């Protein structure tokens, strides 16, 4: 039986535990044993330890990586930042032996060690490579019934590609998330701003109006080019922007349409038969039409 | 920049020691930049309208314009998306220049207050993002009130704090590390 360490991060367990529920559900249904990473922390987010120093970044990520290594598992995360930060830390540890030496010393002081064996996966690449599209197709209980999906892979799931264990053939023309939606019975066309940033993250924290304006530009293109039933998101931070951020734009009367949004883990869990109330518990934009279509309605 | 004025870079303000500081803080390929502007063409900060997006930051960094870089908060709005790293033909890793500027800024407390909030949460709880009300949200989906992270294990959290105290956080944190 395949095993994976579930790396939760911050936004998923605290803001969107419906994604955590969904990740746990889909792993169980796909026959993957979940290994808890007890004592894991924040990845750490780009604006924290990485902004203090390269050693600070590497050692704080190495803490988490060492917990997975001790348990003999790779990590799975639903958050783009957790994916990017920890993969980059892994990359730096290999590339800079002088940093690795310092990291080893600090880890030893707190009774830990890290040999660099852990790979960090996101939900897209894990489903695509470790589960496989054919297996996913066989296991789903509900077909997406032609649901039109606008996909958002998320910046941190794409770049810097050289630091990642797997990924797209062309990161500026991502296809994996589209293929996953389509194998489950959806339709997921390319659109012109498919790789554009959603504006969540440091921009949202430090320049919220510019962040939401950037997001609206992307939404307007999605609406005009695809007019989708659903946005399918590969990163929990992007989902916060696509869902709560979109609700904020509507509240501010800056948006006069709605595009429901789900993290890929949520959509896959629902297709595998998860309890919809739990899998979508924190959603701000109503999903009734989407769920009706998946469950066999119009 | 004065209101209604033109934003001209004053080359006499350049400080070579600041360039060296940035190189030491991780911008190790900074000098290789050929000013092609590809980073700026892919930068979300530029698309969002921040005055100092990546190309201008790399330019100012190469000129050693310490005051401009430390006074302007644009580097803290960088999404860390790494498009610039992916696309840079000279492989100077422009994002590392942003991080180097942030690292220099933190040393002189020239960073937004929310930077400290994230660091304080990370130190206290093991999580930089730590919003209120999470227990109720977790219960709603049938999960335990606390996730099985350092938050649930004092022993791990104390060890993690000990690890953080071995870093520069010990010197720059404007909050008690006890």
Which residues in chain A are closer than 8 Å to B25, comparing Cβ atoms?
53-54
Compute how many other C-beta atoms are within 10 angstroms of the C-beta atom of residue B17: 9
- Report the gap between the CA of B113 and the closest CA in chain A (Å): 10
The domains of chain A are located at 2-122, 135-294
Of A150, A180, A185, nearest in space to A30 by CA: A180
- Report the gap between the CA of B13 and the closest CA in chain A (Å): 25
Predicted local confidence at residue B3, as pLDDT: 56
Q: How far apart are CA B59 and CA A117, in angstroms?
A: 38
Tell me, which fold does domain A135-294 have in CATH?
Answer: Rossmann fold (3.40.50)
List, as ranges, residues 21-40 from A with C-beta within 8 Å of B. 21, 36-40
Average pLDDT over residues B64-90: 94
**φ/ψ of residue A149, rounded to 5:** -110, 135
State the pLDDT confidence band at B5, using cuts at 50, 70 and 90. Answer: low
Predicted local confidence at residue B12, as pLDDT: 81
Q: How far apart are CA A161 and CA B178, in angstroms?
A: 39
The structural domains of chain B, ordered by start, are 11-107 (1.10.1060.10), 113-172 (no CATH)
Q: How far apart are CA A61 and CA A55, in angstroms?
A: 10
List, as ranges, residues 7-46 from B with C-beta within 8 Å of A. 25-26, 44-45
State the pLDDT confidence band at B10, using cuts at 50, 70 and 90. Answer: confident
Q: How far apart are CA A61 and CA B132, in angstroms?
A: 25
Q: Are A174 and B83 in contact (CB under 8 A)?
A: no
Strand partners, A36: A6
Average pLDDT over residues A110-124: 98
Top-confidence residue, A298 or B84:
B84
Tokens representing A261? Answer: 């949004």
Which residues in chain A are closer than 8 Å to B129, comparing Cβ atoms?
10-11, 14-15, 42, 45
Average pLDDT value over all residues in chain A: 97
Of A214, A184, A219, nearest in space to A199 by CA: A214
User: Is the fold of A2-122 the same as that of A135-294?
Assistant: no
- Give percent of chain A with pLDDT exceeding 70: 99
Average pLDDT over residues B158-164: 98
Q: How far apart are CA A266 and CA A190, in angstroms?
A: 21
Predicted local confidence at residue B1, as pLDDT: 45
User: Residues for chain B: how many in total?
Assistant: 178
SS3 content of chain B, % helix, strand, coil (to 5): 60, 0, 40
Asked if pLDDT for residue A298 goes beyond 60, the answer is no
Q: How far apart are CA A272 and CA A143, in angstroms?
A: 9
State the pLDDT confidence band at B97, using cuts at 50, 70 and 90. Answer: very high
Q: How far apart are CA A53 and CA B52, in angstroms?
A: 22
Tokens representing B173? Answer: 């944190």
Predicted local confidence at residue B161, as pLDDT: 98
Alpha-carbon distances of A168 from A163, A179, B141, rounded to whole Å: 13, 12, 33
Q: Are A56 and B168 in contact (CB under 8 A)?
A: yes
- Give percent of chain A with pLDDT exceeding 90: 97
Alpha-carbon distances of A188 from A154, A230, A271, rounded to whole Å: 16, 10, 16
Tell me, which fold does domain A2-122 have in CATH?
Answer: Glutathione S-transferase Yfyf (Class Pi); Chain A, domain 2 (1.20.1050)
Q: How far apart are CA A182 and CA A176, in angstroms?
A: 10
Of A13, A291, A178, nearest in space to B146 by CA: A13
Asked if pLDDT for residue A88 goes beyond 60, the answer is yes
Asked if pLDDT for residue A91 goes beyond 60, the answer is yes
Closest to B86 (Cβ–Cβ): which among A46, A53, A171?
A171
State the pLDDT confidence band at B13, using cuts at 50, 70 and 90. Answer: confident
Asked if pLDDT for residue B104 goes beyond 60, the answer is yes
Of A195, A248, A183, nearest in space to A80 by CA: A195
Predicted local confidence at residue B9, as pLDDT: 67
Tell me: the pLDDT tens digits for A160-207? Answer: 999 999 999 999 999 999 999 999 999 999 999 999 999 999 999 999
Of A45, A63, A83, A118, nearest in space to B166 by CA: A63
Tokens representing B145? Answer: 């009130």
């Amino acid at each position: 039986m395949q095993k994976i360490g579930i790396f939760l991060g911050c936004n998923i367990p605290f803001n969107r535990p419906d994604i955590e529920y969904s990740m746990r559900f889909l792993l169980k249904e796909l026959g993957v044993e979940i290994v808890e990473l007890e004592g894991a922390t924040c990845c750490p987010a780009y604006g924290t330890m990485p902004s203090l120093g390269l050693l600070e970044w590497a050692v704080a990520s190495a803490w988490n990586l060492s917990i997975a290594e001790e348990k003999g598992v790779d990590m799975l995360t639903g958050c783009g930042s957790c994916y990017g930060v920890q993969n980059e830390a892994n990359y730096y540890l290999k590339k800079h032996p002088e940093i690795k030496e310092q990291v080893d010393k600090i880890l030893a002081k707190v009774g830990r060690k890290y040999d660099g064996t852990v790979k960090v996966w996101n939900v897209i690449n894990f489903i695509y490579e470790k589960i496989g599209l054919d297996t996913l197709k066989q296991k789903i209980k509900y077909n997406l019934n032609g649901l039109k999906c606008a996909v958002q892979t998320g910046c941190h799931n794409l770049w810097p590609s050289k630091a990642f264990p797997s990924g797209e053939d062309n990161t500026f023309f991502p296809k994996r998330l589209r293929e996953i939606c389509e194998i489950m019975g959806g339709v997921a066309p390319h659109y012109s701003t498919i790789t554009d940033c959603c504006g969540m993250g440091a921009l949202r924290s430090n320049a919220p109006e510019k962040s939401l304006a950037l997001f609206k530009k992307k939404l307007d293109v999605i609406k005009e080019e695809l007019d989708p039933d659903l946005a399918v998101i590969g990163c929990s931070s992007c989902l916060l922007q696509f869902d709560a951020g979109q609700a904020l734009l509507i509240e501010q009367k800056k948006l006069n349409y709605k595009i429901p949004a789900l993290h890929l883990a949520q959509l896959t869990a629902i297709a595998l038969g998860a309890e919809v109330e739990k899998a979508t518990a924190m959603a701000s934009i109503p999903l009734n039409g989407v769920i009706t279509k998946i469950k066999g309605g119009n | 920049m004065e209101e209604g004025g033109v934003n001209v870079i004053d080359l006499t303000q350049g400080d070579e020691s600041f360039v060296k500081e940035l190189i030491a803080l991780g911008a190790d390929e900074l000098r290789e930049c050929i000013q092609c502007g590809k980073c700026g063409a892919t930068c979300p900060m530029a698309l969002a309208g921040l005055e100092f997006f990546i190309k201008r930051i790399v330019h100012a960094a190469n000129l050693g314009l310490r005051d401009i870089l430390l006074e302007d908060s644009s580097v803290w709005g960088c999404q860390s998306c790494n498009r610039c790293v992916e696309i840079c033909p000279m492989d100077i890793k422009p994002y590392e220049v942003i991080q180097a500027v942030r690292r220099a800024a933190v040393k002189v407390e020239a960073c937004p207050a929310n930077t400290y909030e994230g660091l304080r949460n990370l130190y206290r709880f093991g999580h930089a993002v730590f919003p209120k009300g999470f227990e109720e949200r977790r219960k709603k989906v049938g999960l335990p009130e606390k996730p099985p992270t350092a938050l649930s294990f004092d022993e791990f959290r104390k060890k993690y704090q000990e690890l953080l105290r071995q870093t520069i956080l010990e010197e720059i944190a404007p909050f008690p590390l006890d």
